[in-house]
């Protein structure tokens, strides 16, 4: 296996099992050197906790990039997650353009919406900024809500295969290269992932677990990046990431005290078995 250097750009929620505290261990476990660029530092994530602290690191991004350039540092892959502002998006676009090694692969998880709504901190201006970032990447990993905002196609809570194909086609028309569309389930008891590449569209179906768990999108995207950079195909990486994410939810679902995330760490051996 070739040793890869992967940069991931997102926030640090010190407690809560999301963003960088998920991406760093999962991608490292996949065997890659994992560098980080934190966009903000929070004491906890914002879903269910109150009184959390927040420090915006937007102004730190340009000098960090400048220092990396001075040192001749570059990356084999760059993976972005939650970004706090349109200003950060512009900074990240510059990093994608300047900090990649030859053949660098870029992954963008739009991380801005779910269940038909934008996250409270975001507006239409942020969506427009995210469009310019997402459609310039090699891989985009939206959920259905994010895909609808990125394309301007009305969100549908109930949908069929024709609607999903319309969403995916619109993403490609706007510039997306490879689309990994998550949270696609056509029956009440199933969920899945659509993988759309130049070679065509494929679908991986898995069981639906009737529980919303914070941070599972970050678990999925990180596991996908780790698997793909390990040499797996896009479809196999999507399948591995989905199976791993489902396992982490199952590992947590009976523990009411662990409401703030999923116990993904004990399942890392399972993830590594799938990468073998």
- pLDDT by residue for the chain (276 residues), tens only, comes to 789 999 999 999 999 999 999 999 999 999 999 999 999 999 999 989 999 999 999 999 999 999 999 999 999 999 999 998 999 999 999 999 999 999 999 999 999 999 999 998 899 999 999 999 999 999 999 999 999 999 999 999 999 999 999 999 999 999 999 999 999 999 999 999 999 998 899 999 998 988 788 999 999 999 999 999 999 999 999 999 999 999 999 999 999 999 999 999 999 999 999 999
What is the count of structural domains for the chain? 1
Alpha-carbon gap, residue 262 to 249, rounded angstroms: 6
Considering only CA atoms, which of 249, 252, 250, 248 is closest in space to residue 271? Answer: 248
CATH number of the domain within which 182 lies: 3.40.1190.20
Report residue 170 as tokens: 């619109």
From residue 273, give the alpha-carbon distance in Å to each of 1, 30, 114, 240, 245: 15, 10, 31, 10, 14
Nearest 5°: CA angle at 262, between 256 and 265?
Answer: 125
Q: Which domain holds residue 104?
A: 5-275
Report residue 253 as tokens: 């679902």
Kindly state the DSSP code that residue 143 receives in the 8-state scheme. Answer: B
pTM over 0.95? The answer is: yes
Q: Where are the alpha helices (DSSP H) in the chain?
A: 20-29, 61-71, 86-98, 124-134, 144-151, 161-173, 216-228, 234-250, 268-275
User: How much of the chain is helix, strand and coil, in % rounded to 5?
Assistant: 40, 25, 35
Kindly state the DSSP code that residue 267 receives in the 8-state scheme. Answer: G
């Amino acid at each position: 296996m070739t040793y890869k250097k992967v940069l991931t750009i997102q926030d640090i929620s010190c407690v809560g099992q999301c963003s960088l505290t998920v991406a760093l261990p999962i991608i490292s476990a996949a065997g890659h050197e994992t560098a980080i660029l934190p966009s903000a530092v929070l004491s906890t994530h914002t879903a269910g906790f109150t009184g959390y602290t927040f420090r915006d690191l937007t102004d730190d991004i340009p000098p960090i990039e400048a220092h990396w350039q001075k040192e001749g540092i570059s990356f084999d892959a760059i993976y972005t997650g939650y970004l706090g502002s349109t200003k950060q998006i512009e900074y990240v676009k510059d990093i994608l353009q300047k900090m990649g090694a030859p053949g660098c692969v870029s992954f963008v998880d739009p991380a801005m919406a779910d269940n038909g709504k934008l996250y409270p901190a975001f507006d239409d201006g942020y969506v427009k900024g995210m469009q310019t970032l997402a459609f310039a990447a090699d891989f985009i990993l939206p959920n259905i809500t994010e895909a609808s905002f990125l394309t301007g196609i009305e969100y549908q809570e109930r949908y069929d295969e024709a609607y999903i194909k319309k969403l995916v086609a619109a993403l490609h028309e706007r510039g997306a290269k490879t689309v990994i569309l998550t949270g696609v389930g056509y029956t009440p008891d199933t969920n899945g992932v659509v993988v759309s590449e130049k070679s065509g569209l494929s679908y991986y179906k898995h069981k639906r677990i009737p529980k919303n768990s914070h941070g599972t999108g970050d678990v999925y995207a990180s596991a996908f990046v780790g698997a793909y950079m390990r040499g797996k195909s896009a479809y196999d990486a999507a399948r591995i990431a989905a199976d791993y994410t489902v396992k982490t939810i199952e590992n947590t679902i009976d523990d009411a005290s662990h409401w703030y995330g999923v116990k993904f760490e004990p399942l890392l051996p399972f993830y590594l078995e799938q990468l073998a």
